Amino acid sequence: MALQLVIGNKNYSSWSMRPWVLMAQLGIPFDERKLRFDFGAPDAVFHQQVGAVSPAGRVPVLVDEGFAVWDSLAIVEYLHERYPERGIWPADPKARARARCLCAEMHAGFSALRSHCPMNIEAHLPEVGERLWREQEAVRRDVARIESMWAEALAASGGPYLFGAFSAVDAFYAPVCMRLRGYALPVSGTTRGCVDRIAAAPGVARWIADALQEHDWVAEDEPYRQRPAKP
């Protein structure tokens, strides 16, 4: 029986994106179950459906024959133990430890970038990005830290991805790439090149293409735009 990955809207769900693109990129077979974000009353359909598989009530959730893993970093570790040959983490112990450090920092940090620049793959918001860059010092600090980590990793590995071959750390930072592109935040050429390579990875490109085909509108995930008028 194939693994099942329960996710939210691809246009908005940055946490869902991480395990999905990792599994797609590395050829780990799974069935997708997408739940439309519906953040209404506690008894909304989304809450009912995700609550049936996860006590945390959030996506993503990996389901393996009824066994649920509901944290994105825990999902990555579970996949690594089940598919150790797929290159989920770098083979070198020190590189693997450093990659885990970068994922853990993404998992717990960069709150300013995440809150001010919510992932919205379909949107192009350079004016918003310019204003945020000017007004939000915390966003500038987050981006500077990301650029520093990426530059160090790329210098050590030689690329093309952060630790050479595509791994969990690239999947974890794929939503950051979407934010840097969508809000047109000013970054170095090294960072821009890394963004472009991660975005072009087949697994990531598939997620982006799916997101662009959703044509859905979730008001809670659209702080900078108004619902388009119906024709």
pLDDT computed for residue 4 by the predictor: 98
Two structure tokens written together for 223: 């702080």
Q: State which residues form the domain around 145.
A: 93-210
Domain's final residue, options 39, 63, 86: 86
pTM across the whole model: 0.96
Best CA proximity match to 37, nearest among 125, 123, 120: 120
Question: Are 167 and 99 within 8 A, CB to CB?
Answer: yes
Residue 150 lies in a domain: yes
Looking at residue 226, the DSSP 8-state letter turns out to be P
Number of domains in the chain: 2
Residue 220 lies in a domain: no
pLDDT computed for residue 8 by the predictor: 97
Question: Are 113 and 139 within 8 A, CB to CB?
Answer: yes
Q: Which residues pair with 61 in a beta bridge?
A: 6
Two structure tokens written together for 12: 């908005």
Nearest-angstrom CA–CA distance, 69 and 207: 21
Looking at residue 7, the DSSP 8-state letter turns out to be E
The CA–CA distances, whole Å, from 153 to 23, 130, 216 equal 22, 27, 36
pLDDT computed for residue 78 by the predictor: 98
Domain's final residue, options 20, 53, 86: 86
pLDDT computed for residue 123 by the predictor: 97
pLDDT computed for residue 47 by the predictor: 85
pLDDT computed for residue 41 by the predictor: 66
Nearest-angstrom CA–CA distance, 59 and 227: 25
pLDDT along the chain (231 residues), means of 10: 93 98 98 90 83 92 97 97 98 98 96 98 98 98 98 98 98 98 98 98 98 94 85 57
Are 59 and 36 contained in the same domain?
A: yes
CATH code, domain carrying 149? 1.20.1050.10
Are 98 and 48 contained in the same domain?
A: no
How is 126-192 classified by DSSP, letter by letter? HHHHHHHHHH-HHHHHHHHHHHHHHHHHHHHH--SBTTBS--HHHHHHHHHHHHHHHTT----HHHH
- With 0-12 / 13-18 / 19 or more C-beta atoms within 10 angstroms meaning exposed / middle / buried, residue 142 is buried
CATH code, domain carrying 60? 3.40.30.10
Question: Are 180 and 196 within 8 A, CB to CB?
Answer: no
- The two counts, helices (H) then strands (E), for the chain are 10, 4
How is 66-101 classified by DSSP, letter by letter? TEEE-SHHHHHHHHHHH-GGG-SS-SSHHHHHHHHH
pLDDT computed for residue 1 by the predictor: 67
Are 32 and 52 contained in the same domain?
A: yes
Two structure tokens written together for 207: 């997620």
Residue with tokens 């630790």: 163
